[in-house]
């Protein structure tokens, strides 16, 4: 296997196809649709233990039997994005935060737009639950995976 090789697999879900991308140690991405987004790497269409574990946990999540993911993740992003993504993982299943509340948790109450941008760049959707961030008025707001999918995830978690 070449240096910097990543494995990827497509998994069918209630939201359509998802692309799982992992190296030997961490899940690197969960993207909506079929993607070849990590072009700078050798992409190997194959599976590995990380991808298999992610697939099992996603199936459980969509069945409503899993509320927390137990996966090693390592998304690539700026220091601020990393901070926001880490905070997203602290939002409990079934709860939501506003962009403003998340900005306050990130240490800058005026950074709600920056938080929204960091959310949109989250490469590990669902598992790093950016769908749990909503507008101040309670509306869902945007979502890289599509607003319909965001609403589905919020409904799934509100059962």
Number of CB atoms found within 10 A of residue 139's CB: 9
Domain annotation for the chain: domains and CATH numbers: 6-63 (3.30.160), 79-158 (1.10.10.10)
With a threshold of 0.85, does the pTM exceed it?
Answer: yes
pLDDT band for position 36 (cuts 50, 70, 90): low
Integer Cα distance of 33 and 51 in angstroms: 16
Between 143 and 96, residue with greater pLDDT:
96
Cα 2–Cα 43–Cα 69 angle in degrees, nearest 5 = 110
Q: Which residues are the active-site residues?
A: 130
Please report which confidence band the pLDDT of residue 34 belongs to, taking 50, 70 and 90 as the band edges. confident
Q: What average pLDDT does this structure show over 39-65?
A: 85
């Amino acid at each position: 296997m070449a240096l910097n090789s990543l494995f990827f697999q497509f998994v069918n879900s209630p939201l359509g196809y998802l692309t799982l991308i992992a190296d030997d140690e961490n899940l690197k991405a969960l993207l909506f649709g079929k993607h070849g987004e990590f072009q700078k790497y050798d992409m190997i269409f194959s599976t590995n233990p990380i991808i298999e574990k992610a697939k099992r946990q996603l199936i459980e999540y969509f069945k409503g039997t899993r509320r927390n993911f137990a996966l090693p993740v390592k998304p690539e992003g700026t220091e601020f994005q990393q901070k926001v993504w880490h905070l997203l993982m602290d939002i409990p299943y079934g709860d939501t935060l506003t962009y403003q509340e998340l900005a306050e948790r990130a240490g800058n109450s005026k950074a709600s737009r920056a938080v929204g941008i960091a959310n949109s760049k989250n490469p590990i959707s669902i598992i790093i639950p950016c769908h749990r961030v909503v507008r101040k008025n309670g509306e869902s707001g945007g979502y890289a995976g599509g607003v319909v999918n965001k609403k589905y995830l919020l409904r799934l978690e509100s059962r």
